[in-house]
Structure 1
Amino acid sequence: MTAALPAGSSPAEEEPPPGEPLPPAPGPETEDVTGEREEWLSKLLYGRVTILAPNGMINTGVLYGGQRMNRGEGPAGESPAPPPEQAGPVPKADLDEALTAFVEPTWFGTARTKLDTGLLLLSGARRSGRRTTALNLLSRYPGPPILHAVDADADLSTWHPAENVKGYLLDGSPGMLRRGVVDRLRARLAAARTRMVVVLPDDPALLDRLEEELGEAPVPCLPPPATAIFARHFEHRVPSAADRDRRLGWVDGKDLAETLETGMAPAAVVEVVARLAAMNGPPADGSSVFDSVEGFDRREARLLVESLRNDPAKLAFLLSVCVFEGLDHRLIRAEADRLLTVAAGRLDITVPGPPDGSSAGVDVRNPEFVLRHSLSELLHAIRAVQSTVEIRHAGYPFRAEPVSFAERGRARALLEHMWRQYSRMGPLMTQWLEGIDNRVELTLPTGEFMGMAARWSGGSNSLGHIRELTRSDRWTSREIASYALGVAAKDALLAKEIKHRLREWSTQANWQSRWTVARMCGTEYGTTRPDEALGLLHRLAGVTSGGHLESVVLQATVALHNLFVRGDRDAVFQAVRDWADEDHPVAGIALRTFPALLNHDRDWFGGQLTSGGEWSGPIVDLTRRGLDEERHYANTCRVLLHWCVDAAESDELRSAVQMLLSRLAIDVSHGVLRLFVTIDRNEAPDPACKDIAAAALRDWREGGASSAHRAQPSPSRAEWTYT
């Protein structure tokens, strides 16, 4: 396998796809988290690696419209408002939709009796079926099959019905509904042998005023049980009982039953039925038929919340009811009061101005107000849009609702303008972005921005903001710096400065800077400049001051690995072989890197061994060195044991590992002896490998004292600082 390892990030339960950054670790950045990342990288280097298929993007867009009389698309994240009622005939399609599979509510007869007087006032919440019921009531009367809509702002004191119209529908809050106006309206409707239903909003103040003025209360529109609506519409949309049963088997039946029993608006029930009827199989992404379907839609939620912005007590009560719906009102009010205490003023839209200054004694906007700006307001203000839901991956799947500008390149233009025109913006942006969480979806765009900002800065200190990140103790900040340097290096002038800076940082006592250099060598910057990267790694390996040597060495090891699998294998392996012969800490990095290369590119190493290529001898020598060095024995032995186990599944690998073990058996040094004992005692290795190990052990035992010297630990050529 030749997948390049990510040069840094955080641990996760799954290995990443080739060349992908590691998924992020949750929680704040601490030494423990950094240690977990390094431990995970080590497992990737020397353990078994599963190459995952690239993650796909799944679109699970929310549906809009198509619900009873609710038409058209709305902006992302918000259900559309019904269009204003247009005066004139009700479209046949709308009427047919309203009459189809209609379920009569229990009060339908009462409403019919009221409508017999010529005028019916019908009140209810949006999506409760008010308009659908009104159209059904009017359709039950004899006469021409024509229903008309009336403008919501029509003056009913002067309005007159036309001839040959069965009924009228007025959806809104007409003014001037006094007793005399209503009496004269009823008389005109009776003369024309027609009727009218006025659909009113569920506004307690309005309804109380009408009842007091007219001496009669509007009929409340209480929808029939959601289960009855579901059954009627499902049977209409899917006539086959067997087909209905099959579709119900594709969804969570318990979830469906419980949701319907707790009550859903008729429009929402009809949408659920439409989704079930349109399904071709179980949802592939585990979504529910109820996703984004609300009995109380987003627009109405927005309107209600906005109406309470000036009243913290009612806002707290609303939140309490939403959370504790169904509990005793005393508990709900108590929790609402406690929320007000916890909020400590954050539910107040205004606060008293400071006692001194022009705002003394005047209420000012509260900057801590939690409902200060809604997402919709913010998006509208900057002309951005919110896209439909997508399934994304970061070691685990999650739903994302991306926000972007409608115009391509707008974000870059805005950032460049602010960075160039406002000199104090740069330090603020750097301080802000340095503290982001270690999540790939955040670090990549941050690094991209920081790199572009270097190109916008110009001058002799264009890399100053990135330099600050390279000195950080936070893994994430240094990760961002490496991304940013890679982006900035695409500029020819900056590339020269970056090359100079990396050489300078590679020998500094500051370990964070050397870590960043090692990280850069394993990225695209290094793989496209392999000679420069190898030179930088060689330089930084000779520095042993500054602490945190293990972190620097691990990054250097990963960088060598990535240079090997993404570039010139011969050149990188030659460097590893040459470094292993040096009497300074560079040898430690070479011997630490070698088993990682052996683990991740069996084809190349196997081909060298079986063909007797120019590197077959050095491969055997480095293997022996790794086994004999106590600090590197565990990793080298682990990789070779994996080779022996997997040889049972591959003739090519079996031939290569047999060749390697046979050449090691010629001189059974201390480390080789330990390897053969491990293979001999393990049940998993391929029989051919076990035979070679057993034969070598037998020869060693029979050799007695004459061979005993070969099994002693080889004298260390140096106590490597790097392990």
Structure 2
Amino acid sequence: MSGQEQPAGSGPGAVAAPGETAPDEAAPKDGSAEETEERDQPQNAWAARRDLVDHSPRTMKVGAHSRFGGGYTAGDQHGVSGGRVTGDVVMGSKTVHHWSFPGLSTAASASGEIPRRTLERLAASFVTADDAFDGLVERLRRDRVLVLSGARFTGRRTAALMLLHRLGATPVLALDRDTTPGSLADRFTARDDGTDTDRGDDRARGYLLCDLATRRGNALRETHLLGAADRLAEQDAYAVITVGPTAVLEDDVSPADWRPPTAQDVLAAHLRARTTEETAGRLLGLPDVKEFLHHGHQLREVAAFAQLLGRYAAGEVTEQEVAGFSLGSLENQVQEWFEEDESAVHLRDKAFLIALAAFDDGPYALTAELGDLLYGFLQQTENRSRVPEIPVFGTHVGKRLQLARAHRHEAEEHTEWGPVTQTKAAFDDERAALVLLREVWTGHPSARPALIAWLRRLADDGRPLVRTRAASTVAVLSRTDLPSAMALVIEPWATAGRFRHRLVAVNALTLAHHIGTPNIPRILDAWSTAEDRRLHWVAVRAYALIGPERPAQALAALRDATRALHRRPGGPDDFDGEMARELTQAVELLLLSPADAEVLTDLLSRLDDEPAVRDLSLGGFVNACRRTEDDERYGTPLVLRWYARAATDDDRTATEGIARLWREALGDPGHTRLALTALADWVLAANRSTTTEWALAALLPRLVTTPPEYQRLSHLLRTMPGEDGNPPPEVAARLLSTLPPR
């Protein structure tokens, strides 16, 4: 079970409220501190690695259930998102670009006339998603006033202007956003100040009111619209009012839903309005343009990108500027989220955005729960004397995700009980999580105390997913500012008394290394010789995960640690026994990594070394032999599959090396029993799979070079019990026949 180290009572209910004593600092309620420490056992390295693979965010994913290591191995991609999302592209120095979004800014909704020529310019590049627009035109013609509902930055303002333009209602007067529902009719009065020079006597007037302010107790009612329609009819005018999806409307008000066109259609329309058909087609085929469209940008950004592409076609801007526009606009959006005042983005919404960055593509309910936990910490940062207040109800899921430019979807989530289907929330642009965390950590240092307290609480959570995402979040912070992340978060975890916290430090360092954070191997090298034995433990665990990139150095460090462990004065204590197991598990993971061939060669070369080093090699090999595909009890043994692949490829180094390690382990008094148990499991797996049987039948003859070896294996195959204590499996007799008599 991946969460096997979870003590009773941990999990969501164990998370203390902000201001309370953290679980690691509190005295246990039902026993001494020593008893609590006894219950805190380290999670098996193999299970911990599986949790890290299962629960890492999509921007740091290694292949599903694949092995850690860099580069490409055996056709599998290892590392972090192929280097496409992370690295210097996103995590380097921030460069914020300020782009103009012509014709699409809601700031333009302050009072003032929008001239006819502006409407004609917008009409030249206006497209719709379907034929419903014509129906909206007729509805506006009939009712005089139309409420158009849509999310921000979906082109709803441009759509409103185009509805008025289609009716010939020019010029259009944009009304002040402070207009209230009750004062709506009073706004629709003819102007008599002599400034209406752009209107002919036979032309209707248009009114536009963007983002009508509504709230409970001040809803938009049918009576408001009827009064407005009467005033509009008196002066032969039309009005379109835009509102958001959560506007407060009475039941008898039926807004028209605005369905925006695709970004590709909008971009194509803007390019055709600016360039020739041939040039527009060429621009749409550029790789940077396809990459831009892949990231789901808002229509205001699409319009600005079209403007930039037009300048690029004219030779006024460079290809680098085109390539950088997408990331620049994302950085601008993130900066807007955290620089706007509370009336635009509430502190609770900012906490949710940070939680979504940490739990991107994770369960929505979990993200919302832990976002509220962070909200409590942020409130205390603003006012230490304030009791954190978290509204229980009233949060609109759609509004939250719309603000975050995110979406919900159903997908499987790995758990210690197997995969389960959950509702997840993910950013539309997968780069957003990395950019957001960087912005919060470096652009808003005042948020650090709350963020650190939140991360420490996550590290103590009973759910593997939560702990892994705490580690991945700190990995991003390390890539941005390694000294601060080390001092404030990772080192306190690494020197903590609980194995759980130290494991989060291991995962944070591992993921930080995978996204290109410099100097992680140097940190591990230093910790592997540190006086603090807890740092020693963290270094050994991390070597097992990043070691495939530098197997020779990792194995050398593990051997040095083994020698130091056995040379320590005095008798071995519990910690020494735990460290010995950790060292063996580290070798096991390295053997089952993309660097398996190099590790195998290294282990073989050390079999005649001192006893402690020999035990390390054989113990790691026997542990590796116990691992099966997908961790199934009688699944294909991974080492046997490796042997079969090497035999097919005529890789004599691997086949002979695996056979020799088997012979050494079976003949070593300290490893014979566990080796025979592992081999018996292989026989039971062969009883269920013909492919496994063939591979084992090819290996067994290589394990017999002396009479004692023959006697040992023949005795096992004659006497071993079947599954659940049944008689020996039939496959045992067939395998016995493959042994060469001695």
Q: Give the TM-score category using the shorter length.
A: 0.3 to 0.5
Q: Give the TM-score of the pair, scaled to structure 2.
A: 0.45
Larger radius of gyration: 1
Q: Give the TM-score of the pair, scaled to structure 1.
A: 0.46
